[in-house]
Chain A
Amino acid sequence: MERNAVNREIPSRIDGYGSTDGRLFEGAFARKPSGYRAGAKIRAAIPNGSSKLSGSVKEAVMASGLKSGMTISFHHHLRNGDYIVNSVIQACSELGIGDLTIFPTALFDVHKAIIPHIKSGVVSRIMGSDNGAIGRLVSEGGLDSPVVLRSHGGRPRAVISGDVHIDVAFIAAPMVDRMGNISGRSGKSACGSIGYAFTDAQYADVVVAVTDNLHGYPISPISIPGIYVDLIAETESIGDPAGIVSGTTRVTRDPMRLLIAKYASRLIESSPYFMDGISFQTGAGGIPLAVTAFMKEAMKRRDIRGSFGLGGITGFFVDLMKEGLLQKLLDVQSFDLDAVSSIESDPNHIEISADWYANPWNCGAAVNMLDIVVLGATEVDVNFNANVNTEADGMLLHGIGGHQDTAAGAKLSIIAQPLLRGRIPCVVDRVHTITTPGEVIDAVVTEFGVTINPRRKDLLNAWSDFTYARDIPLVSIDELAERAGRMSGPMEPIRAADRVVAVVEWRDGTVIDTVRQLEK
């Protein structure tokens, strides 16, 4: 057992994960890359050779050479509408393939169909975000090996640096031609950007595109070129459109959340970054969307023109671009119908890979160009460490997403959330799980005001000149934690066992925290 730089005790060896020697979190920017990129097997499609069309998902699994014990990857652009993970695992089960490591970008409730295959040993290990039912299973100790959680940037870093080798990548392809050129932009299962799948396509030994929309050669525009793609499987439908994109994403109407969003927007407006060329990322949650709405109003009022919006893109960002308040959108995941139709038609709405978006070990990650990010968290502690992975009861229910990457990259990272969620305090003395270290969180905004990380002396010193935040209380993090504790009353400790059920990696591949099994 050793303590890492955020003072968490990490076992020197974690069963099913390996030695943590030399892999303890040392600081947000401490670990530097060395060596060379890993690579995929070289293969060639022969001129006039056999077709890539391999029939059904099951036939494609057979043709791919997938064997027991291998690692297979998936991406989550079809979100809670995805049929691919379930159908591939079902096919593996029927073919007697087991002991698989699955490496999805994220799993959703729809994937609870694979739970029987976890219990029967078809799937023995998961490296990826687990939202909902599978997270619950993991927390209760339902997997033999711990889940490995990586951020959107940490995942491609792990692939490119060789931490993870993908044997077979399955790519949900809303549109594909006979040579395997893939696009997510149109078709009945259109999902817009397929940015998370790019690195998998480049670094897997075998790449299978699964489609319900096959075209003649070539399609345009092409997102993932067929030069990486070995096989094409056809299926009636790759996903349920209702689960793939939401029709509308709504701004919160809760007055308290609106107040928090207003405070956050005023903080941004007062900051030195609020000027022509400003770039920002706000997620699809209720408060971040409201921050976007308030910022839009502020940008218009003060005649500020931004440069780009980043991340998971919503119709809100599309509107900002249409109104000339942002010049470009960099999109790794299109959240709603407006975003999907915008990326299809507007060349300024640019599809980017997860590597390009957020990988700490490349030469041009978009997060490094980010001025502002507005994030949420289940809890933040007095050292500004944020937890986005476990709920108040200690249950693993969320992935990291781009939380670590954007917080590390942005000039001003803001966590905007109510002080209490229900009765549960969101500012505490010690978070149950550290996802993102306090050294990269600059401010916490609650209904009680703005709290600035003391590390940001520049912002604290400038606070009295923050014209647009003049009526907003400036409160310390200790005050917040104390107030939250007073309101909620004393909490009972989470009853966790010693066994590690999930390893939370910092984006550079070091272990920032572990999640322990819950006692029943």
Chain B
Amino acid sequence: MDLNNPKTAQAGTLESMDCVVTITGPEKNGVIEITGSASARFETVMKKVINETLDGLGAREPVRVHVQDNGAMDIVLGARVEAAYKRYIGEFTR
């Protein structure tokens, strides 16, 4: 893990019912930060979706996941996390 060589990738928009997911890494420990309108009432569910999506993608390296939420449903959030993560590991390019 090369902590001196950080990478960043992003997916999503700030349209209503969407979110912007920014993944930065590598990190020593995985971090999830959620800001935005629904974060006060859905944080636990959203964290669960993010972790499950990353696990499903076989992510091992700890990363920082920042979600700027504008009311995304789980299915949208999961898709944005997946896209951001795949960009992060270089599987997709913008």
Question: Using a CB–CB distance below 8 Å, which chain A residues touch chain B?
Answer: 391-394, 420-424, 487-492, 494
Contacts and interface: CB of A to CB of B under 8 A. Distances in A.
Given A422-B70, A423-B17, A491 B41 contact: yes
A489 B17 contact: no
B54 interface: no
B29 interface: no
A421 B73 contact: no
Contact of A489 (B16, B45, B71): B45
A392 B45 contact: no
Contacts of B42: 423, 488-489, 491-492
Contact of A393 (B16, B17, B41, B69): B41
A392 B37 contact: yes
B81 to A, nearest CB: 15
Interface in B60-84: 69-74
B71 A424 contact: yes
Contact of B40 (A392, A421, A422, A489): A392
Contacts of B40: 392-394, 492, 494
User: Which one of A394, A420, A422 has the highest number of Cβ atoms from chain B below 10 Å of its Cβ?
Assistant: A422
B12 to A, nearest CB: 14
A424 B16 CA distance: 11
A492 B71 contact: no
28 contacts: A392-B37, A392-B38, A392-B41, A393-B41, A394-B40, A421-B71, A422-B16, A422-B17, A422-B38, A422-B69, A422-B70, A423-B17, A423-B42, A423-B72, A423-B73, A424-B37, A424-B41, A488-B42, A488-B73, A489-B42, A489-B45, A489-B74, A490-B45, A491-B41, A491-B42, A492-B42, A492-B44, A494-B40
Contacts of A422: 16-17, 37-38, 69-72
B52 interface: no
Would you call the interface of chain A mostly helix, strand, loop, or mixed? loop
B17 to A, nearest CB: 6
A169 to B, nearest CB: 37
B41 A494 contact: yes
Contacts of A423: 17, 37-38, 42, 69, 71-73
Nearest to B45: A489
Given A424-B41, A488-B42, A489-B74, 18 more contacts: A392-B37, A392-B38, A392-B40, A420-B71, A421-B71, A422-B16, A422-B37, A422-B70, A422-B71, A423-B69, A424-B37, A487-B73, A488-B73, A489-B45, A490-B45, A492-B43, A494-B40, A494-B41
Nearest to B73: A423
Contacts of B43: 492
Contacts of A494: 40-41
B7 to A, nearest CB: 29
A130 to B, nearest CB: 19
Going nearest first, the 6 A-B pairs with the smallest beta carbon separation are: A422-B71, A393-B40, A423-B38, A423-B71, A491-B41, A489-B45
B73 A424 contact: no
Nearest to B17: A422
Most buried by B among A420, A421, A422, A423: A423
Contacts of A392: 37-38, 40-41
Contacts of B45: 489-490
B16 A492 contact: no
Nearest to A394: B40
A327 to B, nearest CB: 39
